[in-house]
Structures are given as C-alpha cells and as structure tokens.
Chain A
Amino acid sequence: MTAPHNPRFAWLTDPGDRGLAIMLLAPLALLVTLIVVYPVLRLFYTSLFDHSLTSGLPPRFVGLQNFGLMLDDPTFWTTLKNTLLITLVTVPGALIMGLAMALMANMPFKYHWPVRLSLLIPWALPLAFAGLIFAWFFHSEYGVVNDILRRFGFQPVIWFNSPGWSMTAICLTVIWKTSSFMALILLAGLQTIPRSLYEAADVDGAGKLRQFWEITLPLLRPAIAVALIFRTITALQTFDIPYTMTAGGPGGSTATLAMYIHQNTVSFLDLGYGSALAVVMFLLSMLVTVLYLRMIRARG
C-alpha cells in the first residue's frame, strides 16, 4: 500500500535519516529562536542604547556607556553582592536539605505518599506566595517565628528591621522553597541505584554510613550536578521571595540584581540601563552553566 510515487516530493516521503532529523527538529529550533535567541539578541542590542521612556526622546546609540555607568553605580554592586550571597548560602543549603529529604522519601515506609506529598507542596507553591506567607511568619508582632521564640524565653527579633536578620529570613525561605525541587531530582537519581549494590555491601559488612559515602553519593553525582545547575541559575535570578518579603529593605540592603533590573525597566522605564544589567545577569548564568558542564565532563 504505497502512495503514487512522485519524485518531486521524494524528500518528503523518504527524507533519509539526516533529512528526517532536520524536519523533526525544525519546529523546536524555530520556537527556541523566537522565544530565546531573538529576545537575547534584542537584549544585547538594547543595552547599547540610551533608551528611557520617561525622557520623551528617541533611543540614542551610546555603545558600552551603560556598562560604564554600572561600574560607578553602588546599587548595582550591592545588588550583585546580595545575589551572590543568596546563591552561596541557599544552593548548598538546599542541596543538603534536599538530599536529606530525598533519602527520607526513599526509605521503605509502608506509605510513601505522605512523605512525597510533603515534598511536592513547597515545590508546587508559587514563589510569590511563599514569600508572602513567610513574610507573615517572620512578622515582628504577629509572626509565628517570634511567637515560638517568646514561648522558649528568647527575645523576639524585628526581622525586617536589620539587614542581617532580613537576609537570614530570606535565605531560610529560599532554602525551604527550593530544597523540595532538589529532593525530587535526587529522589529520581536514588531510585536508579540498584538495590543489589547495597545488598552486596551488607554482605561485605559495610555500615550504613559507609554505604552512603561509597555507593549512594558517587552514583548520585550526575543527579546532583543537574540539580545544582538548575538551582544555581535560579538562585542568581532570585526575585520573588525578597521582593515579596522585604521589597529590598531595610533601605535596599536585601535587593537582588533581578529586582534592580525589574526596577530599572518596569518602574523607572530606563530600558537601556535595565537591559545592560540583564546582560550581566545573562553572562553570569552562562558562566555558571559552562563551569558546571565542564566539571561534569571532567569527572565523567
């Protein structure tokens, strides 16, 4: 049962392996070009212009001037520092918490669903909700955190009145929110480790801790790498939680680079400078991705 053969459409009915691959990939390539490549190129282009909607003037080409302004902009450095701090604290924090949660979920409980559900809930909760909810937890008068402190005889803390405590509250929230994502990826990794390895180790007399270091951790390395790449990039882009918890306060001391980009573009309507800041964040994310990929390749 073959269709009448028409040589003009031969490439369509029998494209060959290479041709088929191109045809199947074309829609995706087009989509990625439209929603990723074009906007990124456009971002680089806009970053070279003095383009402020409040000036009432048309965009003016200024070369790298926006990047030069950044060097003298203390807010840029503060927000960059805060972003890196949040990344350095919350990525390892979420990895440790996530690993503990994954190991727990992988234990042979009779009922898996309560553990797995509690893994899923923080992950499924929108970031902004998490921020708003935790802002109430940490509220100095009505918050549950201070209530607990009082019950145990400690002095309550005015969390959002000091840069250090505000940053602590933000990092705790980010770790709570993101460790379940880590746990989900790590749980998937754990389930690929054959049980027979542990049985063999039992026979050889290796203890649980030894099994964790010698079997679980090495075999989990690819899953950890994937989880770290995703988590680090989203950590560099941290926006929702500090935005909803502190709005950058007190006095801008907890604002992140993503919040500063948002402020410059959406509030100040300075598209040129905002784009230049976004270029920096893009390059930072690329750098991290490349470093991780090289690390995986070097090990693998």
Chain B
Amino acid sequence: MKHLSLAALAAMGALASPALADADLRIFISSQHQPDVWRQVLDRFEQATPGVSVEIETGGNTSEAQAQYLNTLMSAQDPSLDVMILDVVRPAQFAAAGWTLPIEDVDMAQYLPAYAEANTVNGKVVALPAFADAMFLYYRTDLLEKHGVAVPTTWDELREAAKTILAAEGDDSLQGLSFQGKPIEGTVCTFLLPYWSLGENLVEDGALTLDEPAAIASMQLWKSFAEDGTSKPNISEVATDDTRKEFQAGDAVFAVNWSYAWAQAQSDESAVKGNVGVARLPAMEGGQQASCLGGWEWGVSAYSEHPAEATALVKYLSSPDVAEFMAVNGALLPAFPQVYEDAEVLAAAPWFADAKQVVETARARPVTPRYAEVSEVIRTTLNAVLAGVSTPEEGVAAIQSRLARVLR
C-alpha cells in the first residue's frame, strides 16, 4: 500500500515531533467499525514511532451502547483508555464534561466544513474526524430496470415506484421501503430527513426552532408508509442493522441507510450483489433533498497518562493518507474533500464520486452537550407515533414541550 509508506509517515509533522516517549496506548474502536482494518493502520503507526504500541479495545455495536460504556468509564476518571472513537453527535457532550483534551495545531480547513464544525466547541478543537458518513437511498437496480421505474427524487415518487414494483412482483417477503423506527439513534435521523427537506431547522444558536407543520408532515409521511403497505407494519421494531439485513437478503426495493451497508450489500454473502444502487434521499413535495450527517471522531481522553503520544496518534489517524487507506480497504467515506477524487479510491468504490455531494450537503443533528436528551425525546416520540400510541400531532406537541425544557 503505497499510501502508508514509512516515508509518508515520517513526513508528517506530528510524528516528527521529538517529544514522544515510550508508551502503551489503548484505543477504543467499536466492533462495527472494522477494528481489523484499523489494526493495519495502527501497525504502521507503531512502526513509525518506535517505543509506542497501540492496543485496540472493542465493544458495543450501537452508538448508545458505546456512549454508555464510555460515559461510565469517563465519569469514573478511568485512565485505561487513551483514545476513543465517538459518534459525531458526542464530542460536544464529552468536551462539556471535560472528558476530552483539546487538540492544538490542526488545520481544520482541510476537512469537510461539517466535520470542522462538529469537532470545534467554543473555538477549541475537541476531536478529529475518523471518517465521514451520511444517509443514502439504497435501491435495487435490477428491479427498477425490470419495471422501468426511475430512481425517485421525492418520497411520493418512491411510494408510487414501490407500489408498481410490489404489485408486479407479487412477492410477499418483498417490502417497498425499509427505514428505522425503533427507538434508537438512527430514528432521530428518520424524523429529521423530511423535516429538513422542508427547509426547517430544529435548533438555531442553541435555541429550539421547531416548525410544527413540518414536524407533523414528517411523522405523517413515515406513518403513511407503514399504513399503506410501502413498509412493513412492524417498522417500530426496525433498527439500522435490520434494514441492512433486509436489503441484503433481497427483501426490500428501497432502504434508508448509512454508507456501511454498501460493502456488505456488495459482498459475496449478499443476495443482491451487483444489483445495488445508491442515490440521494428523496425530498418532500416542494422541498429539497436532504441527508443526515453521520461519521465518527477520534477524541483524546482527558485521563490518558500519555496525552502527547495519544494526540500524535489521533493526528495520524485523522490524516488524508489514513482516510484514503480506510476508503479503499474499509469503504469508509473520507472527511477530506480531495480523497473522494483519488483514482484508487474510486476504483475500489465508484459510488464515492457521487457520495461527496451527499456528505457535503448533509445536515448535522443539533450540536449540544445535552444531545443525549434531545435524541431520546425525538426517537421515542417517533417510535410512539409509528406504533400508533400517539398521533403525529400529539407527538409533535410532546417534542415541543420536552425539547423546550432541554434547550433553554
């Protein structure tokens, strides 16, 4: 792999720094983020910095499970972790709690603007991007072609397309659209996608700016998919990885999912290998196409006993070379704009050519230290609406009153 040559490593300012002492670092990488591929990157780092070794700790296969584990560890001021991977929604909370060390001398302009923003709190860089992500519309190229259906650009077109294909196929196990309705983090994005598409913001300058008609329209949209047979009636049970499995098993025409689903949908175990299309998510009627910004960040623990070495590691992991390596070998979207145009990356994942525009225009979930509460309010409310426990109107009223207390 030419990109990770030792010469390239040595050229990096962070590693040329003479201050690095011998240290055994421990890095937390969640199990769904391909720790084995990151291991190859860490091996190069170890080679280039004699005396520093890095051990991986994995855990938690959902964003919430990881956050709970790290919250417990950090509130106990446990020094066992030096570096941790954080969901893009967490750095603000970790910084407010004083759990991450600020990182100095980084040119944030080299990253896609959304990531520069998500990792900067009160003018300080609190974490650095590991990789980018956004939500996409996955579709079955074979089925769309067979039935002469174009890739939908609005949710109503998607409904019609699904109806046409389902009627023609007559296959009971096939559903039109798989999306997330279980009370998990992904469901927050489910709510926000149509809401953003209507041009509304949820939070401006730390204050709640909920537009009730747009919020009701969003909830009605998802509810209608469950009711008119576009999606399965048990959508309130569906988590992100269920969507991935359903699509991969050939049981969904369309699916809303993050970029990680691509590699598995195109793997040899996939029933839809070679028939996977990725497009921008549809818009509401009269609205703009919108996606939800994802991605993961590297933070240096405030309780690390080797802060200088841990910071050097994070700077290395958040470099264009590593982003390119991870794009080619792990199909992870880069946080650097130029890496999307790299020939080797495009050879490995041709759809990255279109992905850049999606990531660039993806909207970020609210950046607030109390994000965990914001998330809980939105996901349980949408889940209740999808299960028919409350109406969209009641749900939106609940979001308004509960979020108004969280975001004062």
Contacts and interface: CB of A to CB of B under 8 A. Distances in A.
A158 B233 CA distance: 8
A54 B370 contact: yes
A253 B64 contact: no
B388 interface: yes
B182 A267 contact: no
In this complex, the interface size class of chain A, counting residues with CB under 8 Å from chain B, is 20 to 34
A251 B387 contact: yes
Interface string A148-165: 000000000010111100
Given A160-B237, A267-B71, A269-B75, A249 B182 contact: yes
Interface in B231-265: 232-234, 236-237
A269 B372 contact: yes
Interface in A15-41: none
B376 A263 contact: yes
A55 interface: yes
A216 B54 CA distance: 64
Interface stretch (B93-101, B141-149, B328-336): B93-101
A252 B398 CA distance: 12
A140 interface: yes
A250 B384 contact: yes
B96 A248 contact: no
Nearest to A253: B389
Interface string B23-47: 0000000000000000000000000
A273 B272 CA distance: 49
Interface in A42-65: 53-56
Given A56-B369, A252-B183, 11 more contacts: A139-B237, A140-B237, A158-B237, A161-B236, A163-B389, A248-B380, A249-B236, A251-B384, A253-B389, A268-B370, A269-B372
Task: Give 3 closest A-B pairs by Cβ, nearest first.
Answer: A251-B384, A250-B387, A54-B369
Given A54-B93, A269-B71, A251 B183 contact: yes
A140 B175 CA distance: 15
A75 B142 CA distance: 47
Interface of B: 64, 67-68, 71-72, 75, 93, 96-98, 182-184, 232-234, 236-237, 369-370, 372-373, 376, 380-381, 383-390
Contacts of B233: 158, 161
Contacts of B236: 160-161, 249-250
Interface of A: 53-56, 139-141, 158, 160-163, 247-253, 263, 266-269
A6 to B, nearest CB: 46
Contacts of B67: 267
A267 B376 CA distance: 9
A249 B373 CA distance: 16
B182 A53 contact: no
Contact of A251 (B97, B184, B237, B380): B380
A148 to B, nearest CB: 18
Among B75, B380, B381, B384, the most chain A Cβ lie within 10 Å of the Cβ of: B380
A55 B183 contact: no
Contacts of B237: 139-140, 158, 160-161
Contacts of A162: 387-389
Contacts of B234: 140-141, 158, 160-161
Contact of B96 (A55, A141, A160, A268): A55
Contact of A249 (B64, B75, B369, B383): B383
B85 to A, nearest CB: 18
B97 A247 contact: no
Contacts of B384: 249-253
Given A249-B183, A249-B236, A250-B387, A266 B72 contact: yes
A247 B64 CA distance: 11
Contacts of A269: 71, 75, 93, 97, 372
5 contacts: A158-B237, A161-B233, A162-B388, A249-B387, A250-B384
Contacts of A253: 384, 389
Nearest to B246: A141
A53 B381 contact: no
Nearest to A246: B183
A267 B383 CA distance: 19
B97 A53 contact: yes
Contacts of B369: 54-56
B389 A251 contact: yes
B96 A266 contact: no
A9 B303 CA distance: 47
Contacts of A53: 75, 96-97
B124 to A, nearest CB: 12
A56 B97 CA distance: 6
Contacts of A249: 182-183, 236, 380, 383-384, 387
Nearest to B96: A56
B71 A250 contact: no
Contacts of A263: 376
A161 B383 CA distance: 9
Contacts of A139: 237
B75 to A, nearest CB: 6
A205 to B, nearest CB: 58
Among A141, A162, A247, A249, the most chain B Cβ lie within 10 Å of the Cβ of: A249
Contacts of A252: 183, 380, 384
